[in-house]
Amino acid sequence: MPARTGEQYISGLKERPREVWISGERVDDVTTHPAFRNGVKSIAALYDMQHNPALRDEMTYTSPSSGQPVGLSFLIPHSSEDLVRKREMMEHWAWASCGMMARTPDFLNAIFCAWAGAADYYAQDRPEFKQNMINYYEYIRENDLTLTHALINLQRTRNPTLVDTLSESVALSVVKETDAGIVVRGSRLLATLGPISDEIAIYPVGSHQLSEEAKRQSFSFSIPCDSHGVKFLCRESLDMGGSHFDHPLGSRFEEMDATVFFDDVLVPWERVFLLGDVTLCNKYGDATGSNAHTGHQILTRCAVKAEFVLGLADLVVKTLGSGTIPHVQERIGEMITYRETLRACLRASEADAALNQWGFTSPAIGPLGAGRTLFGRTIYPRMMEIIQLLGTSSLMALPSDADFDTPLADEMNRYLATDTASARDRANLFHLAWDVSCSSFSGRQVLYERMFGGDPVRNAIILFNNYNREPFAQKVSAFLQSNN
């Protein structure tokens, strides 16, 4: 099957019902359930974009195996130009959700591209794992599947090292090896997009290192979300069933986060990519280049999101007529600086891209890491604060869609209009500002940007331990010696 349509994605979900629980209810069909259906529609719209005649060439490329058009995010890049093409494709998808849906399918496509390009890495564990990886990558590319992932083992207790303290009765563990495959039991966090994905990829993450004793928790595999024994437990839905006018983001872009339980789940051998090798499990991210490739997808989305929020801030200021006030200008200036910083990091990662040891092109990871860290720690939370500071009471003086059909409509139209906007246009804009900066949808977005790429403290420790600061220390030493 070449690049899918939205309808094909939706039929795929219907044909393979998975075990999903939300607010005490077992979900029959995620494509029609109010908690998920609008998120499903938004992902479907991305697939449809691949068939838009005006965009098709930017969204797809010719499959080397089938000769059919397949999603461009599956391309294993061999030049900076390939990276730029991929980024432009990913920008189209990111803009479709204003940067709010972080787990659009290109996220995991980028990871599996890198892993397939570096398939020899997996052969170091067992020779057959190399072909498993290549076959799986080709399978998801040719079937244009949507993947989720859950990397973190639930922990009962924490310790200050980067090595997690895992309990066999909690962490996802291999309980048996059979002729058919491995059997796993336990739990994992946190499958964003999980209930509305086709497949779930399970692998470790560098910020939560595995100890030498954790051989039974050391693996990488991917299976269908409807595999027997896989259960998704969702948080409450942020789609409150409101109109697009009242909840412009929540009513469209609920991507859902779910804890995943594995009740003796069989993982067929052909879906296993690593097993029992702690070192290979701990090191794959940098060694295969997948950290750089996900970083490229992530920072592309972050730049789009920053641009969306900057555009929103601009409209807020124009609508309220506050653009002549110096500190308002300063805040917009601050946002512009953030946007430029993110774009500069993205561009630097492409400009400094290089062939890696596996023979394909990886973007430079330094600027990607810097951009991602700044975005989660500082830029995004601060941009939300600025929207609140600029919007102030207009985020509260906010009639709903239904209010415009009441006897208060005359008063609303008379008193809530500004010099540049009707009352309805103002309400339309500030519902968006609310959903971006104050609603429960917005709170989850800030939490997501802070945490999804791993705890910032752990990430900073990794940077401290790995970053080569020696050249700079030597310069300072040389300067000090010149004093003697």
Ligand X SMILES: Cc1cc2nc3c(=O)[nH]c(=O)nc-3n(C[C@H](O)[C@H](O)[C@H](O)COP(=O)(O)OP(=O)(O)OC[C@H]3O[C@@H](n4cnc5c(N)ncnc54)[C@H](O)[C@@H]3O)c2cc1C
Of these, 149, 216, 293, 372, which contacts ligand X (CB under 6 A)? 149
| Cβ 150 to ligand X shortest distance, Å | 5
Does the footprint of ligand X cover residue 425 (CB under 6 A)? no
Pairing of strands 173-177, 181-192: antiparallel
Q: Which is nearer to ligand X, 118 or 200 (CB)?
A: 200
* DSSP H or E run through 6: helix 6-15
| Cβ 107 to ligand X shortest distance, Å | 9
Tell me the C-alpha distance between 439 and 391, whole Å.
14
Q: Which is nearer to ligand X, 90 or 427 (CB)?
A: 90
Q: How many residues bind ligand X (CB under 6 A)?
A: 23
Q: How far is CA 406 from CA 202, 342, 396, 416, 430, in A?
A: 52, 45, 19, 15, 20
- What 3-state DSSP class applies to 466? helix
Does the footprint of ligand X cover residue 162 (CB under 6 A)? yes
Query: By the 8 A CB rule, do 294 and 111 touch?
Result: yes
Q: Which is nearer to ligand X, 111 or 152 (CB)?
A: 152
- What 3-state DSSP class applies to 427? helix
Q: Which is nearer to ligand X, 296 or 339 (CB)?
A: 296
Q: Which of 200, 232, 207, 213 is nearest to 166 (CA)?
A: 213
Tell me the C-alpha distance between 162 and 70, whole Å.
39
Residues 256-295, mask of contacts with ligand X (x by CB under 6 A): -x--------------------------------------
Question: Dihedral angle at the C-alpha atoms of 119, 121, 127, 129, nearest 10 degrees?
Answer: -60
| Cβ 195 to ligand X shortest distance, Å | 12
Query: By the 8 A CB rule, do 31 and 37 touch?
Result: yes
Amino acid making up residue 332: I
Q: Six-digit token pair at 432?
A: 């968006």
What part of residues 430-469 is at the interface with ligand X (CB under 6 A)? Answer: 444, 447-448, 451-452, 454-455, 457-458
Of these, 152, 299, 346, 386, which contacts ligand X (CB under 6 A)? 152
Residues 105-144, mask of contacts with ligand X (x by CB under 6 A): ----------------------------------------
Inter-helix orientation angle 365-374/456-466, to 10°: 150
| Cβ 210 to ligand X shortest distance, Å | 13
**C-alpha distance across the termini of the chain, in Å:** 72
| Cβ 461 to ligand X shortest distance, Å | 6
| Cβ 307 to ligand X shortest distance, Å | 22
Tell me the C-alpha distance between 172 and 177, whole Å.
14
Q: Which is nearer to ligand X, 202 or 306 (CB)?
A: 202
What part of residues 187-226 is at the interface with ligand X (CB under 6 A)? Answer: 189-192, 207
Q: Which is nearer to ligand X, 117 or 376 (CB)?
A: 376
| Cβ 204 to ligand X shortest distance, Å | 10
Q: Which is nearer to ligand X, 119 or 152 (CB)?
A: 152
Q: Which of 385, 306, 297 is nearest to 342 (CA)?
A: 306
Applying CB under 6 A, which residues contact ligand X? Answer: 149-152, 158, 160-162, 189-192, 207, 257, 444, 447-448, 451-452, 454-455, 457-458
